[in-house]
Structure 1
């Protein structure tokens, strides 16, 4: 089946989701510190970069829940992103933590590298779980869904990709899923196990 070119809406939420999945690097950098920047500036900056994406996601989620901004999708396939977690840890987090941050030029170079990685993750729709949401029991799934829930839409061969944040341990294929729409095809599942 082919993937559709249906508009995803605002991609900002997906970008914040990618940022939040990389935010543990900022926490580690705040602990590690750098010689080029005073701790009074470095530590609060890193802590803000660690907490801010989670705060934004929580705010968007709260608004969607309060306004009952729900969307129902027909799940064709669902993949848990945990299968890519080791690749993510060893290919992204550890090298980013281990980079040399000795001088201002090193910090600028790493900032550009981090921005490039975030763009690639966003563009390729690679979403990994936010650390704080994971502590709260959420998982993230990449879900291929039919365009709509009406009968004529179910007959269409086109699929749309969603990032679904859920407390469920398994998303059954061929079932309807209703969740709060955060934007950018990011949904928080209303159901639990």
Structure 2
């Protein structure tokens, strides 16, 4: 009886970084806004680092995956562009976080805990939106459902696996294969440049 290897496509570090990067514009806004208890000399570099760090980490992971040819091909069963939820994201998350009072140290701690709680919920519910810098480079993020497993028998079970696909394409066609660089967990960067 051979041993069975199980590949976890679950929630992972890369998905957490995707969530962090999608919420990172808050740090840029906080840097511009400033806070009374902390000097701008410290506050602006901290916020700038928290804004840029997830993008830098994602770029490093992407370069490593591309250099090692860590690729995966999936067949798209269904895909959704996350833009449909963008207004909800902006009005429900970014604006309230930006408008929160940061006049005292307790306010800063409270909003930081709320921010971490929101990040955990987004990560746990597999909600991820586009990184601002990647969006400027022409990337979009899709939630893609694909048949699970790498063998014919596994694919025939009908089990679907959800992937976060970062792509320069404007849309992904259901039923077509997609090959991408595996960043970790179930996050892929589409190899195709555009449609």
On whether the aligned pair clears a TM of 0.5, the verdict is yes
Summarize deviations over 1:36-65 as a string: whole Å, max 9, x none.
Answer: 100000000000000000000000000000
Instruction: Tell me the equivalent position of 1:184.
Output: 185
User: Is this contact kept in 2: 1:78–1:171, CA < 8 A?
Assistant: yes
Summarize deviations over 1:57-98 as a string: whole Å, max 9, x none.
Answer: 000000000110000111100000000000000000000000
Question: How far apart in 2 are the matches of 1:42 and 1:66?
Answer: 36
User: Is this contact kept in 1: 2:79–2:172, CA < 8 A?
Assistant: yes
Aligned-pair CA distance for 1:159: 0.6
SS in 1 for 2:178: strand
Question: How far apart in 1 are the matches of 2:150 and 2:109?
Answer: 47
C-alpha root-mean-square deviation of aligned residues, in Å? 1.4
| Structure 2 residue 33 is matched with structure 1 residue 32 | yes
Aligned-pair CA distance for 1:9: 5.3
Q: TM-score, normalised by structure 2?
A: 0.94
What are the within-5 Å matches in structure 2 for residues 129-140 of structure 1?
A: 129-140=130-141
Instruction: Tell me the equivalent position of 1:106.
Output: 107
Question: How far apart in 1 are the matches of 2:79 and 2:7?
Answer: 19
Q: TM-score, normalised by structure 1?
A: 0.95
Q: How many residues align?
A: 189
Unmatched segments (≥5 aa) in structure 1: none
Aligned-pair CA distance for 1:150: 3.7
* Structure 1 runs of 4+ with >2 Å offset: 148-154
SS in 1 for 2:78: strand
